[in-house]
């Protein structure tokens, strides 16, 4: 059984490749990327590494040739992901791929304050459902690793500044996401299923502040700002406007409950509980505390 992984040189792609190589022979794994040189070590280990670019559809059919199942990892080209994903789905069908697994996000609906980020994922899910291939959707919660920069800032300032109100997030580690993906790619019974892959606990801003204080030994308080005030503050300290808007929109989505999803799917797939945010942050404690 040949398994294709797209976006294989990215965070999730590399982790999925490692997981697959614990379950499959190297010759049964095909890694597709725009940067084959970045995966030279895996190529030397016997894994097929192929060039493929979603913006060059002609490159994809050959890149996907011989595959039976494929992990379609969502690209980071906000505003352009839907045509990229469509090109990959069309190429997979043309190449004879039988089953596509797609990495989506929780609450991929049009009215989600995350806007295009959520809408494009939801539309990709719809494209897959209308394809003639079997499909599985993995809706990942917010990545636990993405909490490291705001946690470090909160510890440094002794304030967690947010517009998230009392909303909750349920962080999931990238490694756990990769494990879930590898299991779905290499076992049966997942066709037509949508799995919410989330962490083990829902955390409000006050819970995050308490966690940051525990890990740093420095009390951290919560400062709740309005959306407009948060935008003003971020821009005032030099944050580019698009990035500031993304931070504000994330807080809106948290406040309105779009990330408040706790689901047992990960444990049912893997047989063990997902990693806690505390453990993820502990692994990067030196970075968290600004210690070089």
Instruction: Read off the pLDDT of residues 224-241 as tens digits, 9 standing for 90 and up.
Output: 999 999 999 999 999 999
Which domains does the chain show, CATH number per domain?
3-140 (3.40.50.720), 142-171+200-259+275-292 (3.90.25.10)
pLDDT at position 291: 60
For 76, 101, 108, 253, 259, the CA distances from 117, given in Å and listed in that order, are 9, 19, 8, 11, 13
Per-residue pLDDT band for 100 (boundaries 50, 70, 90) equals: very high
- Side-chain-facing half-sphere of 174: CA atoms under 13 Å: 15
pTM to 2 decimals?
Answer: 0.95
Could you report the per-residue pLDDT of 127-182, keeping only the tens digit for each?
Answer: 999 999 999 999 999 999 999 999 999 999 999 999 999 999 999 999 999 999 99
pLDDT at position 288: 81
Report percent pLDDT > 70 for the chain.
99
């Amino acid at each position: 059984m040949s398994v294709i992984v797209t976006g294989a040189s990215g965070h999730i792609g590399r982790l999925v490749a490692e997981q697959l190589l614990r379950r499959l022979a190297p010759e049964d794994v095909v890694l597709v990327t725009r940067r084959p040189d970045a995966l030279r070590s895996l190529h030397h280990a016997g894994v097929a590494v192929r060039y493929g670019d979603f913006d060059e559809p002609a490159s994809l059919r050959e890149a996907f040739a011989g595959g039976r199942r494929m992990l379609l990892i969502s690209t980071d080209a906000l505003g352009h992901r839907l045509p990229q994903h469509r090109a990959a789905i069309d190429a997979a069908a043309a190449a004879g791929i039988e089953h596509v697994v797609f990495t989506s996000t929780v609450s991929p609906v049009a009215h989600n304050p995350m806007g295009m980020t959520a809408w494009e994922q939801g539309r990709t899910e719809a494209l897959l459902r209308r394809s003639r291939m079997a499909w599985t959707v993995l809706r990942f919660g917010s990545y636990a690793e993405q909490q490291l920069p705001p946690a470090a800032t909160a510890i440094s300032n002794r304030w967690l500044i947010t517009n998230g109100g009392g909303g909750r997030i349920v962080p999931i580690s990238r490694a756990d996401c990769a494990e879930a993906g590898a299991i779905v790619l290499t076992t049966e019974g997942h066709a037509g299923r949508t799995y919410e892959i989330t962490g083990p606990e829902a955390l409000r801003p006050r819970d995050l502040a308490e966690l940051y204080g525990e890990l740093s030994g420095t009390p951290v308080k919560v400062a709740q700002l309005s959306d407009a005030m948060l935008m003003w503050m971020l821009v005032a300290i030099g944050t580019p406007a698009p990035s500031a808007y993304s931070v504000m929109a994330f807080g809106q989505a948290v406040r309105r409950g779009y990330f408040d999803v706790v689901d047992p799917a990960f444990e049912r797939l893997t047989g063990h509980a997902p990693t806690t945010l505390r453990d993820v942050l502990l692994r990067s404690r030196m970075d968290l505390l600004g210690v070089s």
